């Protein structure tokens, strides 16, 4: 009996130790990392934010016609394949699918009063508004909202949400990533945390950038791997080397300008220079200088 009691106590102690070990691992690893590096192996770490203009020549592989990264993400949200959308880069507070779809609608869209709620609408047509192309709404009688239809009971107003932005309008993205030097493997890693889709102010009626929401890169990487025919980074110089979006991000085949480095005041580089009364161009130079300084830091870390 004493032996049985001894082994029972030993098993309980092992289970407690194992539970404590699992808890410690949760603290030591970043849950948002695709390939997390233990905290005790991180010799150097800094978090940076990059602005990725998908219209740039280097980024066109992510923005090929009918194969845009933004198209894949928006379709995944609409279909329910991508469910977790976040309000900020902290990746903690979620927003609803309805909120995301509401942000896809252009401001000051043309809507109408005295309408019949039982009419069916669809968004197959394209109309031009303020020099921009949008998907339109059409009722089952063939009357397009916004058209001049004499004798109809539709009256144009400046309120509502009838026009949805085109996928080509979602041409900007913000990336949040950790730059980590692993002391055990003596190399630098770029650990992407999240990606934000943005409609630039040049495409909106208010000339203000519209954020559609943040996504964990872990979720996006899974989306890319599960949609191989659609998630194709287009290599316009050699189409035999087209790659999956996930591989293209892993190989750093994009160009993203650093606009913020983690700091106590949570200021962007432009904010810092603007607060000091420096001209805008110096903020632009500072972004490139920051990139060079990080490269220099990586070079110096090879001593370890």
Q: How far apart are CA 142 and CA 124, in angstroms?
A: 12
Structure confidence at residue 9 (pLDDT):
59
Q: What is the mean pLDDT of the chain?
A: 80
Report which of 275, 276, 167, 156 is spatially closest to residue 212, judged by C-alpha positions: 167
Structure confidence at residue 3 (pLDDT):
56
Structure confidence at residue 134 (pLDDT):
58
- The Cβ of residue 50 has, within 10 Å, a number of other Cβ atoms equal to 20
Higher per-residue confidence, 84 vs 285 = 84
pLDDT grade for 153, boundaries at 50, 70 and 90: very low
- Contacting residues for 268 by C-beta, under 8 A, at least 6 apart: 49, 259, 260
Structure confidence at residue 15 (pLDDT):
55
Structure confidence at residue 251 (pLDDT):
96
pLDDT grade for 33, boundaries at 50, 70 and 90: very high
Higher per-residue confidence, 262 vs 14 = 262
Structure confidence at residue 302 (pLDDT):
72
Q: What is the pLDDT of residues 107-147, one digit of tens each?
A: 644 443 344 444 444 455 666 665 556 555 554 444 444 44
What is the pTM (predicted TM-score) of this model? 0.74
Going through the chain in order, the beta strands assigned E by DSSP cover 42-53, 85-86, 94-95, 111-113, 126-129, 132-135, 155-157, 164-165, 172-182, 187-199, 210-216, 232-233, 243-244, 257-261
If you average pLDDT over residues 4-12, what whole number do you get? Answer: 57
Q: How far apart are CA 223 and CA 291, in angstroms?
A: 29
Where is mean pLDDT largest: 3-12, 90-99, 116-125, 286-295? 90-99
Q: Is the pLDDT of residue 149 over 50?
A: no
Higher per-residue confidence, 18 vs 216 = 216
pLDDT grade for 70, boundaries at 50, 70 and 90: very high
Structure confidence at residue 59 (pLDDT):
97
Q: Is the pLDDT of residue 303 over 80?
A: no
pLDDT grade for 106, boundaries at 50, 70 and 90: confident
Where is mean pLDDT largest: 150-154, 161-165, 166-170? 166-170
DSSP string, 196-242: EEEE-GGGSTTSS-EEEEEEEHHHHHHHHHHTTTTSEE--TT-GGG-
Structure confidence at residue 102 (pLDDT):
92
Structure confidence at residue 271 (pLDDT):
87
Q: What is the pLDDT of residues 217-237, one digit of tens each?
A: 999 999 999 999 999 999 999
Structure confidence at residue 161 (pLDDT):
43
Which secondary structure element, helix H or strand E, spans residue 301, and what is its range?
helix 280-301
Structure confidence at residue 16 (pLDDT):
57
Q: What is the pLDDT of residues 238-257, one digit of tens each?
A: 999 999 999 999 999 999 99
């Amino acid at each position: 009996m004493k032996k049985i009691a001894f082994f029972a106590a030993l098993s309980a102690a092992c289970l407690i130790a194992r539970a404590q070990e699992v808890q410690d691992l949760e603290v030591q690893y970043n849950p948002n990392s695709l390939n997390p590096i233990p905290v005790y192996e991180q010799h150097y770490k800094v978090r940076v934010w990059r602005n990725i203009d998908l219209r740039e020549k280097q980024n066109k592989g992510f923005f090929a016609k009918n194969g845009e990264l933004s198209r894949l993400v928006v379709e995944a949200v609409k279909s329910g394949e991508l469910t977790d959308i976040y309000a900020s880069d902290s990746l903690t507070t979620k927003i609803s699918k309805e909120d995301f779809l509401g942000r896809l609608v252009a401001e000051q869209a043309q809507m109408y009063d005295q309408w019949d709620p039982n009419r069916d609408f669809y968004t197959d047509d394209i109309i031009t508004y303020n020099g921009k192309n949008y998907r339109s709404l059409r009722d089952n009688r063939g009357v397009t909202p916004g058209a001049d239809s004499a004798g109809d009971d539709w009256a144009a107003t400046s309120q509502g949400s009838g026009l949805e932005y085109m996928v080509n309008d979602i041409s900007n993205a913000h990336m949040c990533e950790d730059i980590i030097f692993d002391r055990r493997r003596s190399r630098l890693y770029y650990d992407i945390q999240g990606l934000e889709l943005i409609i630039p102010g040049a495409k909106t009626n208010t000339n203000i950038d519209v954020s559609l929401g943040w996504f964990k890169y872990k979720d996006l990487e899974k989306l890319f791997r599960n949609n191989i025919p659609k998630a194709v980074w287009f290599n316009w110089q050699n189409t035999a080397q087209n790659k999956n979006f996930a591989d293209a991000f892993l190989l750093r085949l994009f160009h993203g300008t650093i606009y913020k480095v983690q700091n106590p005041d949570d200021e962007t580089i432009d904010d810092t220079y603007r607060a000091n009364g420096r001209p805008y161009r110096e903020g632009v130079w500072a972004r490139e200088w920051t990139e060079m300084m990080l490269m220099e830091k990586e070079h110096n870390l090879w001593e370890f």
